[in-house]
Homo-oligomer: A and B are copies of this chain.
């Protein structure tokens, strides 16, 4: 006979459980402060205080600030806006406007700055936000190619650089651009995308 004490199923260790409510509050607070403040200005103290727990409770779950922020980034989700209005041009304008309205410059910027010291953070951000974002736009472009609205020989990755980067350049040059900006960008880029060379009005 075998002793039941060596049961393969993990025997629950003694002692109190980590409060799942605290888990949730800490992660949600970190997520919010990360979006509001970026990496640098998020403080462990503020997370603990606004989550209503002691600072040490945060450190019991995450070994340091980078670890906490990693977990918070991991909960970021790019809303998969499958935009299929039937008009590629309009889809692109809508997607660019979504970037314009929602993109967290603080977060993106600080993670980029932290890259030499905490490469994992930017890596995660790419995985969760940048790559999905590019994927959505790429899909729209490929959709346009299939339907003959976009020339088939475009360099999709470079078009993504141009389109999505334009937002950063605009912010740098003069702050977050206005609501007319996305359409102006697509107008300017369109001849590089359009399958048929439409004459201007």
Contact of A161 among B158, B161, B166, B200 (CB under 8 A): B166
**Chain B minimum-CB-distance residue to A191:** B192
**By the criterion CB–CB under 8 Å, are B113 and A158 in contact?**
no
**Chain B minimum-CB-distance residue to A170:** B161
**By the criterion CB–CB under 8 Å, are A158 and B192 in contact?**
no
Q: Which of A121-142 contact B (CB under 8 A)?
A: 126, 130-131, 134
Question: A193: shortest Cβ distance to chain B, in Å?
Answer: 8
The verdict on A188 contacting B192 (CB below 8 Å), with A168-B168, A170-B165 known, is yes
Q: CA of A163 to CA of B192 in the docked complex: distance in angstroms?
A: 13
Interface membership of A155, Cβ < 8 A: yes
Residues 71-100 of chain A: 1 if any B CB is under 8 Å from the residue's CB, otherwise 0? 000000000000000000000000000000
Q: Which of A160-194 contact B (CB under 8 A)?
A: 160-174, 184-185, 187-192
**Chain B minimum-CB-distance residue to A108:** B172
Contact of A158 among B153, B168, B171, B184 (CB under 8 A): B184
Interface membership of A102, Cβ < 8 A: no
**By the criterion CB–CB under 8 Å, are A188 and B38 in contact?**
no
Interface membership of A29, Cβ < 8 A: no
Interface membership of A64, Cβ < 8 A: no
Interface membership of A109, Cβ < 8 A: yes
Question: A111: shortest Cβ distance to chain B, in Å?
Answer: 9
List 5 A-B residue pairs with CB atoms under 8 Å apart, sorted by A's residue number.
Answer: A109-B109, A159-B188, A161-B188, A162-B185, A165-B168
